Structure 1
């Protein structure tokens, strides 16, 4: 029971609406608060009447019980009049009548409350604001009383302007409302003042203040409302506030002098209101001080009566049309000479292109499609002439309401975006009005079938994407504009797709890296890979260049770009944090370019612009292994001209230079840090190297050690260049050359050790294999000769060293057991184990062989040998073939001298020892 009783005292408006704590304006007896419905968020204005305001002197009125009862009765009459105003608003429905949202109801404090459409202020408040600004020296002279609080907590001044066009538009709307009251509702307003007119959020003027309204004296229809009691309303009671009584400054003499109630009285009040709009201060030309006698006295003199002769008592000049044609037919003593509300609307005062456009815009829903189209095409030509506040509050909302017409969508959006360019507060208009309308127009269908009728409107949005991006933040762009952009990319119309791809530079400036990589790039890549249009292919490559950090060139006079001339090659780097990362560029962008099949110049040059950016992002290894082959393939396209080919070559050279410099840098870093490897390389390249890889031209003499290893076959088994290592000079060192060793000689004590060192030097890891200048097949094969059958010299060789004559055997030699390290890697005949093997004595000199003149000797069976074989022993069977030991035919043609001449007697080894034995 208690809860139900408490609920009965709870106001419906207070329970269902959120009301601001302080009033935004005060008009007459009402305080106006901003409100918002809790369930829907719809904005309203809440009018609150406080009963305590009826006693401005805090209860000092009246005396005794009788005085208190009279005041209470007077207050009840005022409350009834106030309720009458709200009730008439509920009954009357017209665009120029203030729209009621919630009916009037009582408050806990005994006051009244009702809700209407959102209003900015009353006309009286606006005129007072203008007066305060003018007295303070301009708009910036004092803070505005009309300040609203934004959703983020910031406060801003309401844009309240009263210029010529605003006045014309407002008076026209008031006249339309009066026409409705007079002709349709059969009512006379009775108190048409600035306090009775409100300006809503769309800058429309609305009529209210109907507390004194009533039927005229002469009416063609029966009215249920009681007539106006002039004796009551004309009496100014000092016990009541002036704001809730009839304002004599705007009252017609029909009421005060003639005592007649007619619709003409409202037209006289309208004339006084019109003068107040241009006057300074913005007040009525009649100054009655709420005294009826003063009012009557003013009309007894022509100097105090507004007329053409005294400029209608205005302190400022009035518009010529008003003075000549309008005011004389409004401010006139005779009601029959006054124009009615309809005639006022057709007066010359409203005859201009801007007012005609406003009137056409108000009647737009009733126009034919052809008339609408013509109007929308001509509207952009005059938008600059409209006041900015009127564009924001009147024209822009009216255009957005017509976006439901798909045939006019593109034309409407063109006008909308032009208005955004004109408005200084374009960002607020974009956020509050345009984006919600675009979202509802293009994204309301969800997953339904695509509406092709909206393609033209979508193209207009894409053309103005930069303007949209400048007037909204990143969050709004991502939630509202990105889905629209994706619709454009998925459009079946190539023109729309082309415009969508052209929006990428704007998108890169607004969105973050994650959104670019995960939402924008996949869609662009899909369009690029699936399109069959050459133009879309080029535009897609330009989009890739932008995504990789480039920015588009100014193509205002570049044509369509299909000739491929100078497309994007001079594209500067786009300074943006949203550039694609290295992985995406290398693993996704470049493979898309590699998969292209067309070789059209336009496509190739657009791809070149992409590689210009890839060069700055990708690794040098990727550039060398992936990018350069693709660039070479593109550069050799059969359709490129010389200039385009040169552009490809310029980029190829830049990339190659980058790779070279990077590799050089890496190697230098390695060489500076790897000291061990460097020292080994230096040892390998030193002159003391055992292998001697330099001076391969044979200009130096062959050492005895090398010569012995060569002829004995004890060199490197794996080396094919038997001359390369043997005949190259050894660097001078402190070591003495080792004594020559032959297969039949007794090995010295350190023979094995030196041989192991020699082999270890050959097999050192730092030694390198050098391609031999000549193969082993170029040397003569040692062929055996019979001991009984003499054979001629069959294989004399010349290899650039001159020819030489056969040598006569100097001393007989005896065979030794065959050695395993003979000519095993030469194409010689197989050697039987029982056959003797002969070796050549070492040369005496390390520099040259001297050619000895041949002595005439008889030809022996061993004339084919350069070294004489040992004599045939009795144990040797005659007729058995022996292997021809041959001679070295490429190094020199001189006859070798006996090594005994070079050896001391005490150190006889090898051949010397053999000679001493025989």
Structure 2
């Protein structure tokens, strides 16, 4: 059971909250209800809430009466009160006048409440004078609230104009003019409402109107009758009821306004008290005049006259001297703007700034500003209105500016014509930036500046350039990249006025601390050399940007950009005739500073490279090679070093005259065979060094110490012929040169030993005429996979010598894997060499102190210490080339 009671209690609380928020009235289907802002009507039973229409978001005031407020009333009183307030709303709905409260939605009734909507309101006059009954919480906007003299003057004028309309045009009596029936809207205008006891007149002869008399009944609830303290004496004493009765009520209301809600005589809801004190109004006591302004006293006393006919009518009351005030007339002039043409409005707005400074701030915001912003729909009038708006902005604080002034200016920010609009806004940009929040600046004001930079008006461009440095920190990264910087750079490069170019460059310089480094190096600095202007102001502004960028640790301009872009431009600008001596010195100082940084950074960078990295980047020291040749190393050392460069491949030196043709080679071979000469020296050999050696060796392979690696192809040959090697010399395969000789040459084919004595094979048990191809597959030293490498000639024992590889007819040994040709020991005939290699031209490179390196960055194998025998009659072909 306890759980059930708890559940029931929770459901009741939620239902009560929903009932308070949405009382079930049909009005809530179309309107959103906000916080309570006031109370009004008989007994202040109408609760006024702020609200908005759901479909249009139009602000309204929602009036709500809850039936539960009458729980202690009798049934008859409930019905009478409901009928009274429903009648008042229905009567007001049918009437339309600027001085009457505007009904936006007719009354809606539900089981729990009655509700209707009006124009947005501030509060009732009773609330403003301290009566706060039927409030859930005391609203903040009533804190330290007090009327200004101008508000009272204009408010009483407006109520008297409303009564004049009722009496003359509507032929109606209000019968309840009191603070509870006067509503102040959100613009500060006093509106007449509370038509619960209004009485329609009856036409009479002579175009007159008669009104039925009313008797006040003390037995009825006070809320179902007019407020007794504000009624004219004739209501209690009997007699003719006329519109002068409403004027009397207006006089009592005037007294209450100047006396904080008090009335001259309080009747406490008893009619007999009114009858006993009615004679006091035959002569208004001086106590009723103490707080009344002197200019109003005479007319005020006339309104409270005991005799109705001696009171002024509502129209006469609107013309009293109390309302003859420049500020009141200005407010009245605002209300008649709709009846003027544009020229009349322009003349009025031109003279307005001279008067507007005399208004109080709340009057300006509540009364004046709405009229001014209402004319923003006409662009031609805006330049005449903005000066007055700026005066109001100066008096407002940031909250008031954000909530009241800025919303009316937002549509104006997007207008570009007439150009005076933008000009005025930019002139007062400092004021706008001071009053607006950072969020509003980014959302509304910065786009105005972006759009204004591209204006054709020079003055607008100047104002924008003066403003931009102050808002640089508020510009986000994307907007700076795509909106602001491109437009500033365009002004600097394409501006038609020199002053604009200079200001654009100065603006860029002031923005540098707020820019990211990549924006400066990628967007700003590359554009500077493209500026064609040679005026000193432009050039010095460019120099300033370079100097700030160069000295800024945040930007960090690199040496490459300095060397490739900045320095060439500055050097070319240095000799411009438009610069004076002082400006020239400034350019020169910056150039020297940039050169110093480039030199320092590049030297440090080169010094930080390691020895291995430097070796990989550099070329071999050919001076060392040349030096070795000059001291006796000869062409053998050069060939060895070149072989290292090329990765171990032998390069045959060529004579300076050019490469030998095939016929010349054959002719030389025939001469050697005919003369019985020894083997060719290394200078004319067409066979490369062994693959296991990194350079050409002039000594036999058996004495070479530089064999550290072996070419895979040579290793394959060694493995294929290992079975053929022996400790004793054996006859090798026959090397037939006849196929390379001309057919008409009668010279017999020499044996291989006649050309290459050093290649004579050692004796072996293998038959001399045995070729590689004659062995059976099981005994062949050459694997089957080598068939494609060795070729498919007629006989494998006749393998010609290749200029780019070892001789296929040479049989390697264990100590000498591949015999190299030996240089001749004596010869009187100069050795003919081949053509000059393209790599020979590299020999002219300067020498290096380090040891020669091959292409893989490794030290080359030292050359053999065995010096070849030289003959003075056989000059070195490289002697002339190496000097």
Same fold? TM cut 0.5 = yes
Task: Report what 2:458 is aligned to.
Answer: 494
Q: Alignment partner for residue 313 of structure 2, among 340, 344, 353?
A: 340
- Whether the aligned pair in 1 keeps the contact of 2:213 and 2:239 (CA below 8 Å) is no
Larger helix percent: 2
Deviations 1:336-384 (A, max 9, x none): 3333333333322223332222122222232344443333233223433
- Whether the aligned pair in 2 keeps the contact of 1:620 and 1:662 (CA below 8 Å) is no
Task: Report what 1:75 is aligned to.
Answer: 78
1:174 aligns with 2:159: yes
- Whether the aligned pair in 2 keeps the contact of 1:102 and 1:115 (CA below 8 Å) is yes
Query: Quick one: distance in 1 between partners of 2:631 and 2:295?
Result: 130
Task: Report what 2:257 is aligned to.
Answer: 277
Query: Quick one: distance in 2 between partners of 1:191 and 1:211?
Result: 8
Alignment of 1:502-541 (within 5 A): 502-541=466-505
Deviations 1:32-59 (A, max 9, x none): 122221111112112122344345xx25
The 3-state SS of whatever aligns with 1:128 is coil
Task: Report what 2:570 is aligned to.
Answer: 631
- The change in CA–CA distance for 1:170 and 1:666 in structure 2 (over 3 A counts) is farther
Task: Report what 1:740 is aligned to.
Answer: none
- Whether the aligned pair in 2 keeps the contact of 1:608 and 1:648 (CA below 8 Å) is yes
1:235 aligns with 2:220: no
Question: How much has 1:641 moved relative to structure 2?
Answer: 3.4
1:291 aligns with 2:270: yes
The 3-state SS of whatever aligns with 1:398 is helix
Question: How much has 1:412 moved relative to structure 2?
Answer: 1.1
Superposed CA RMSD in Å reads: 4.4
The 3-state SS of whatever aligns with 2:269 is coil
- Whether the aligned pair in 1 keeps the contact of 2:413 and 2:445 (CA below 8 Å) is no
The 3-state SS of whatever aligns with 2:105 is strand
Task: Report what 2:287 is aligned to.
Answer: 310
- The change in CA–CA distance for 1:399 and 1:105 in structure 2 (over 3 A counts) is same
Alignment of 1:770-785 (within 5 A): none
Task: Report what 1:619 is aligned to.
Answer: 557
Task: Report what 1:15 is aligned to.
Answer: 29
Query: Quick one: distance in 2 between partners of 1:710 and 1:35?
Result: 107
- Whether the aligned pair in 2 keeps the contact of 1:458 and 1:488 (CA below 8 Å) is yes
Q: Aligned residue pairs: how many?
A: 630
Question: How much has 1:489 moved relative to structure 2?
Answer: 2.8
Deviations 1:63-92 (A, max 9, x none): xxxxxxxx52x4333322212211121111
Query: Quick one: distance in 1 between partners of 2:351 and 2:205?
Result: 44
Task: Report what 1:880 is aligned to.
Answer: none
Q: Alignment partner for residue 360 of structure 1, among 333, 340, 350?
A: 333
- The change in CA–CA distance for 1:827 and 1:10 in structure 2 (over 3 A counts) is closer
Query: Quick one: distance in 2 between partners of 1:318 and 1:653?
Result: 84
- The change in CA–CA distance for 1:339 and 1:157 in structure 2 (over 3 A counts) is closer
Question: How much has 1:431 moved relative to structure 2?
Answer: 5.1
The 3-state SS of whatever aligns with 2:579 is coil
- Whether the aligned pair in 1 keeps the contact of 2:214 and 2:235 (CA below 8 Å) is yes
Deviations 1:795-835 (A, max 9, x none): xxxxxxxxxxxxxxxxxxxx99458479945999xxxxxxx
Query: Quick one: distance in 1 between partners of 2:371 and 2:581?
Result: 58
- The change in CA–CA distance for 1:676 and 1:40 in structure 2 (over 3 A counts) is same
Query: Quick one: distance in 1 between partners of 2:234 and 2:303?
Result: 13
Query: Quick one: distance in 2 between partners of 1:648 and 1:343?
Result: 83
The 3-state SS of whatever aligns with 2:129 is helix
Task: Report what 1:604 is aligned to.
Answer: 539
The 3-state SS of whatever aligns with 1:502 is helix
The 3-state SS of whatever aligns with 1:487 is helix
Query: Quick one: distance in 2 between partners of 1:416 and 1:482?
Result: 20
Q: Alignment partner for residue 194 of structure 1, among 179, 195, 209?
A: 179
- Whether the aligned pair in 1 keeps the contact of 2:38 and 2:127 (CA below 8 Å) is no
Question: How much has 1:282 moved relative to structure 2?
Answer: 2.5
Question: How much has 1:497 moved relative to structure 2?
Answer: 3.2
Task: Report what 1:253 is aligned to.
Answer: 233
Alignment of 1:100-499 (within 5 A): 100-109=103-112, 111-128=113-130, 145-147=138-140, 160-215=145-200, 227-231=211-215, 234-237=216-219, 240=221, 242-279=222-259, 281-301=260-280, 306-307=284-285, 309-312=286-289, 314=290, 317-323=291-297, 325-424=298-397, 426-430=398-402, 433-435=405-407, 437-439=409-411, 441=412, 443=414, 453-473=417-437, 475-499=439-463
- Whether the aligned pair in 2 keeps the contact of 1:384 and 1:422 (CA below 8 Å) is no
- The change in CA–CA distance for 1:436 and 1:823 in structure 2 (over 3 A counts) is same
- Whether the aligned pair in 1 keeps the contact of 2:37 and 2:122 (CA below 8 Å) is no
Question: How much has 1:116 moved relative to structure 2?
Answer: 0.6
- Whether the aligned pair in 2 keeps the contact of 1:712 and 1:821 (CA below 8 Å) is no
The 3-state SS of whatever aligns with 1:414 is helix
The 3-state SS of whatever aligns with 2:117 is strand
Query: Quick one: distance in 2 between partners of 1:332 and 1:653?
Result: 98
Deviations 1:297-319 (A, max 9, x none): 223347x9644x3343x4xx332
- The change in CA–CA distance for 1:465 and 1:816 in structure 2 (over 3 A counts) is same
Gaps spanning 5+ residues in structure 2: where? Answer: 1-22, 616-622, 639-703, 705-842, 853-869
- Whether the aligned pair in 2 keeps the contact of 1:89 and 1:208 (CA below 8 Å) is yes
- The change in CA–CA distance for 1:645 and 1:337 in structure 2 (over 3 A counts) is farther
Alignment of 1:785-824 (within 5 A): 817=872, 820=875, 824=879
Question: How much has 1:660 moved relative to structure 2?
Answer: 5.7
Task: Report what 2:655 is aligned to.
Answer: none
Deviations 1:594-627 (A, max 9, x none): 1111112232233233334432224231233322
- Whether the aligned pair in 2 keeps the contact of 1:173 and 1:205 (CA below 8 Å) is yes
Report which structure shows greater RCO (CA 8 Å, sep ≥6): 2
Query: Quick one: distance in 2 between partners of 1:236 and 1:665?
Result: 107
Question: How much has 1:193 moved relative to structure 2?
Answer: 0.6
The 3-state SS of whatever aligns with 1:300 is helix
Query: Quick one: distance in 2 between partners of 1:601 and 1:176?
Result: 70
Task: Report what 1:738 is aligned to.
Answer: none
Question: How much has 1:493 moved relative to structure 2?
Answer: 2.7
The 3-state SS of whatever aligns with 1:419 is helix
Query: Quick one: distance in 1 between partners of 2:536 and 2:223?
Result: 81
Question: How much has 1:474 moved relative to structure 2?
Answer: 5.0
Question: How much has 1:653 moved relative to structure 2?
Answer: 4.9
- Whether the aligned pair in 2 keeps the contact of 1:144 and 1:157 (CA below 8 Å) is no
Deviations 1:207-261 (A, max 9, x none): 101111124578679899x955411xx2233x52x44431122222233335332
Task: Report what 2:524 is aligned to.
Answer: 589
The 3-state SS of whatever aligns with 1:385 is coil
The 3-state SS of whatever aligns with 2:241 is coil
- The change in CA–CA distance for 1:519 and 1:824 in structure 2 (over 3 A counts) is same
Query: Quick one: distance in 2 between partners of 1:533 and 1:220?
Result: 82
- The change in CA–CA distance for 1:596 and 1:20 in structure 2 (over 3 A counts) is closer
The 3-state SS of whatever aligns with 1:287 is coil
Query: Quick one: distance in 2 between partners of 1:269 and 1:321?
Result: 20
Gaps spanning 5+ residues in structure 1: where? Answer: 1-8, 62-70, 132-141, 148-155, 444-450, 550-575, 680-690, 693-705, 719-752, 754-758, 769-814, 829-918
Query: Quick one: distance in 2 between partners of 1:632 and 1:272?
Result: 90
1:50 aligns with 2:29: no
Task: Report what 1:791 is aligned to.
Answer: none
- The change in CA–CA distance for 1:476 and 1:820 in structure 2 (over 3 A counts) is same
Query: Quick one: distance in 2 between partners of 1:350 and 1:377?
Result: 24
Superposition TM-score, scaled by structure 1 size: 0.61
